[in-house]
Structure 1
Amino acid sequence: MRTMLWMRRWLAVGLLAVIAFAPAAASAAAADLVPLRFVAEAAGATVSWDGDSYTVTVVTDDGVTATLQIGATEAVVDGQPVPLGAEAVLVGDRTMVPQSFMDSLLAMPVTWDPATGEAAADPYMLKARRLVRDLMNGELTAVYDQLSPALRAALPYEAILQIGLQLAPYGEPGRAQVLGAAATAVHQNVDLLVPFTVAPLKATIRFDAEGRVDDFRIDPYAPVQAAGSPAYADPAGFTEEEVAFGEAPWVLPGTLTLPAGEGPFPAVVLVHGSGPSDRDETAYAVKPFRDLAQGLAARGIATLRFDKRTYVHSQKFASNPAFTLQEESVDDALAAVRFLAGDERIAAGRIYVLGHSLGGIALPRILDQDEEGLIRGGIAMAAPNSMLDTLWAQNSILVEAGQLPPEQLDFIRPQLDMLRDPAFDPDNSPKGYLLGTPHYWHDLVPKASGLLKQLDQPVLFLQGARDFQVPVSEFESLKADLAERTNLTFELFPRLNHLFTEGEGEIGLISEYLVPANVPEYVVQTIADWIASNP
């Protein structure tokens, strides 16, 4: 499974200044210059001009003041000199300065179109900055007024107050800076960097079609350069479509990757590991699901990968304290299967489900609940047989590797014993139970092999020999428990870790995930060959 709460590790990053200016080169071309007033006012700033001293003063919507003179190469921003990157010049009656300076001053990009003479700011960026500013300033009523009805229902006013209290250990917040924006079939999303004095955070704000805040996430900010598409992914060999499926309030956005040609194509639904995950199953520098989707497309196999419910609807989902794997993964995987079955470009009777890590635990449940008989078979990558045994082995490996203190095992052992007790009641968990949401963990106690023994769909099991998160012992446990089934295939890859990228040494630890890498082509080929042999 992907990183547990107890083992979340974030890259060390330096504290960021309240305003992170990145001046352009001193030889900025004229094409890089933009009209200060138009750009600033598009972002809600006010601009004043002193004709006697040829000085411009800008006050941003969040109170940052900048002054500069025509002919100067520096501005004074809140009392501090800041390079412009080029000389401020007058062109007609317009003060022209580098675009990079304005982006930094406004803490967001504003586009300037010289052909139309218009500047434009993304309205969602403006709304997102306002929301974060209200939250950091304790303007909770203003925050609440911006929420969608669905989010209000899940997040009462008192919960907004709790979010503010949870941020207190991070110290004083600095100025929110827009990192980027992107649209999906469900939301308009804006990412912002908030530089607290203790550690920076990233806030992701999600807007619905009416422009209301429909959900948001606040995560540690740990920028990592992710791997690009694998060499075996030929862009001419596939197309990718933005899609949405499911029912409100849990509609999910995803990517349907289709091979070139007419079809109909066999297709695979990709089901994530634990924790909030995007459609690529991005883990630091690795994007396993993107690699699989694009690699399988080159072999004539379509895929549907989607943003996980806990990623898209984080706050709404977390409002249910009794959620289980059913709500987290199973329901959405089945909705994805039904979505594919309704697409004439997908071959009837040739839909497969691939579950990675926790998704491998979900796989037997997905196959079992396929009442319409739409799923031909399953693929389990790094699948646990027993979640409790996996958690113990995972902790033991990390203690032995010096990644966790020995005391960690003294904590984990009694937690697992409580869960294994037949008398464990998730509605009234025993005193001292601290592992996590009791309903969720109680639901994960049964072995996956118990249900798999009752099913008849073919399943391909893939395992990396260097996996510390779901060790080889779980692969061997599944193999032993399911020895009487004849339509199961087991493949062990000596050099692969939990994310199915290659490495050296006996065990691949989290540090390996920070290295940009792709899922090897032989893994993709193994899956494609198995699908071909199970039409």
Structure 2
Amino acid sequence: MTSRHAIKAFWRRLTPAPTPSQRQLAQKPPIKRAISNTGRLMLSVAVLLSACTGISALSARPQDPVDRRYKIEEVRFAGGPGVTLAGELTMPQQGGPFQAVVLISGSGPQDRDEALAGHKPFLVLSDHLTRAGFAVLRYDDRGFAESNGTFETADLYDFADDAAGAYRYLQGRPEIDHSAIGYIGHSEGGYIAPVAARQTDPAFMVFLAGAARPLFPDVIATQSADLMQAQGADEATIAAAVTQFQVGSSILKQQAPLSEIRDDLDDYLRSQGMGRRDRREVLDQFATRWGVSHANYHSQAELRSLSNPVLALLGEKDLQVSAKEEAPVLRASLRHPQSEVQLIVGANHLFQPSLTGLPSEYADIETTISIDVLNRISTWISAL
């Protein structure tokens, strides 16, 4: 086990202050206050993992469905142990049994619409798929909106249990083709779906901005580097930030009680000049069952073990999940002959047409999801 003293010896010096452009982004939602040095970059990324949920919908977007002429049913079903999830099942008015999909949201507490940055991506996606002839089940995350349970203490495997519960609920519905149920996971949902597949053997999966490499340290380190580079940070500052995530990830990987992991990470953050309040925010995000489960999750091995066809879509301008880094690993890891990895030119993490890919741009873009992406998803599933 890595000792606290060894961690401190690995990294003792304070890192330089951020550029003015970094301060400007830090003042935008969802980052709560300015970051005084890159030793506090973990704080900004911790809040960014909530996927801009702090920016609520203020007005309707052009793609928000208005005339939903299909079956709409409020449902409740069992998720993981002791958890009841609330959601909405939509189905075409005529026909059946239907191919069906379970929508799995990204990181941070999300409602059934995955409402963020003034958009409702899952509502738009479910509307498109239902009109295309599919049944769609989307649900509020545990402990959020109308679902019970506790979000803060849940880990990757708890969220997979919830997704598997949604799948089993569809299996109990006579309107559903039980051999044609799949998962669509956005962002962290791309990690959750393969774990849920251990229990349910879905007919297919779609990863929307899902990563193949581990979240800690690979995806987080690349994310922080890409965001800082987009804001004009110098190479030394970026390298220091990447080092911090690598060290922090090594702490999370320790085979030790969670309390000891928190103490070790707290010591390391203190050595980086981070104040007590900011350290607590980072610890509450990363030094948790969720953080430890991701730090020890072997994502590539999980992908290689899949026997299901997967469609993986990546945004070329995505600064949260790098298409450049993830696409080759996804192509090497997905074994099913019908699996595809597709790059969406000009798209960001939400699959909006984007100029910069920066999260601060999400709310300013009127498009919720590219129509091309919607069509790619429904066409690929139909072809199966």
TM-score w.r.t. the length of structure 1 is 0.53
Superposed displacement of residue 331, structure 1: 1.0
Tell me whether 394-403 or 428-437 shows the greater mean CA deviation: 428-437
**Secondary structure of the residue that 2:144 maps to in structure 1?**
helix
- Provide the C-alpha distance between the structure 2 equivalents of 1:265 and 1:382, rounded to a whole number of angstroms: 26
User: CA offsets per residue over residues 153-180 of structure 1, 9 Å max, x none?
Assistant: xxxxxxxxxxxxxxxxxxxxxxxxxxxx
Note the 1:71-470 alignment, pairs <5 A. Answer: 224-228=57-61, 230=63, 235=67, 237-246=69-78, 249-312=82-145, 317=150, 320=153, 323-327=154-158, 329-370=159-200, 373=201, 375-385=202-212, 386-387=214-215, 388-402=217-231, 410-411=240-241, 413-420=243-250, 423-427=254-258, 428-429=260-261, 430=264, 431-432=267-268, 435=282, 436-445=286-295, 446-470=297-321
User: Which residues of structure 1 form unaligned runs of 5+?
Assistant: 1-5, 13-218
**Secondary structure of the residue that 1:376 maps to in structure 2?**
coil
- Provide the C-alpha distance between the structure 1 equivalents of 2:205 and 2:373, rounded to a whole number of angstroms: 15
Name the one with the larger strand percent. 1
User: Which residues of structure 2 form unaligned runs of 5+?
Assistant: 1-24, 32-51, 270-278
2:172 is matched by which residue type in structure 1? Answer: G
Q: Which residue of 1 aligns with 2:46?
A: none
- Provide the C-alpha distance between the structure 1 equivalents of 2:104 and 2:181, rounded to a whole number of angstroms: 13
Superposed displacement of residue 238, structure 1: 1.9
Q: Quick check: 2:304–2:334 contact (8 Å CA) kept in 1?
A: no
Quick one: which of 484, 507, 522 aligns to 2:372? 522
Q: Quick check: 1:236–1:260 contact (8 Å CA) kept in 2?
A: no
User: CA offsets per residue over residues 481-519 of structure 1, 9 Å max, x none?
Assistant: 32654231111110211111112x353432233433221
- Provide the C-alpha distance between the structure 2 equivalents of 1:350 and 1:226, rounded to a whole number of angstroms: 36
Instruction: Mark the CA change 1:460 to 1:263 in structure 2 (over 3 Å): closer, same or farther.
Output: same
Q: Quick check: 1:275–1:310 contact (8 Å CA) kept in 2?
A: no
2:327 is matched by which residue type in structure 1? Answer: E
Superposed displacement of residue 415, structure 1: 3.8
Count of residues in Structure 1 that have an aligned counterpart in Structure 2:
315
User: CA offsets per residue over residues 374-428 of structure 1, 9 Å max, x none?
Assistant: x211111100122121111111122112288975763552342342476453532
- Provide the C-alpha distance between the structure 1 equivalents of 2:132 and 2:54, rounded to a whole number of angstroms: 37
Q: Quick check: 1:453–1:485 contact (8 Å CA) kept in 2?
A: no
**More relative contact order in 1 or in 2 (CA 8 Å, sep 6+)?**
2
**Secondary structure of the residue that 1:432 maps to in structure 2?**
helix
Superposed displacement of residue 345, structure 1: 1.0
Instruction: Mark the CA change 1:478 to 1:346 in structure 2 (over 3 Å): closer, same or farther.
Output: same
- Provide the C-alpha distance between the structure 2 equivalents of 1:483 and 1:306, rounded to a whole number of angstroms: 27
Quick one: which of 502, 519, 527 aligns to 2:353? 502
Instruction: Mark the CA change 1:220 to 1:396 in structure 2 (over 3 Å): closer, same or farther.
Output: closer
User: CA offsets per residue over residues 126-179 of structure 1, 9 Å max, x none?
Assistant: xxxxxxxxxxxxxxxxxxxxxxxxxxxxxxxxxxxxxxxxxxxxxxxxxxxxxx
User: CA offsets per residue over residues 347-391 of structure 1, 9 Å max, x none?
Assistant: 121101011000001111111222xx4x21111110012212111
- Provide the C-alpha distance between the structure 1 equivalents of 2:128 and 2:149, rounded to a whole number of angstroms: 34
1:305 is matched by which residue type in structure 2? Answer: R
Quick one: which of 21, 26, 29 aligns to 1:10? 29
Superposed displacement of residue 472, structure 1: 0.8
2:323 is matched by which residue type in structure 1? Answer: V
Q: Quick check: 1:293–1:303 contact (8 Å CA) kept in 2?
A: yes
The structure that has the greater radius of gyration is 1
* Identity percentage of aligned residues: 25
Q: Quick check: 1:449–1:481 contact (8 Å CA) kept in 2?
A: no
2:383 is matched by which residue type in structure 1? Answer: S
**Secondary structure of the residue that 1:289 maps to in structure 2?**
helix
Note the 1:15-34 alignment, pairs <5 A. Answer: none
Q: Quick check: 1:367–1:378 contact (8 Å CA) kept in 2?
A: no
Instruction: Mark the CA change 1:220 to 1:365 in structure 2 (over 3 Å): closer, same or farther.
Output: closer
Instruction: Mark the CA change 1:258 to 1:465 in structure 2 (over 3 Å): closer, same or farther.
Output: same
1:486 is matched by which residue type in structure 2? Answer: P
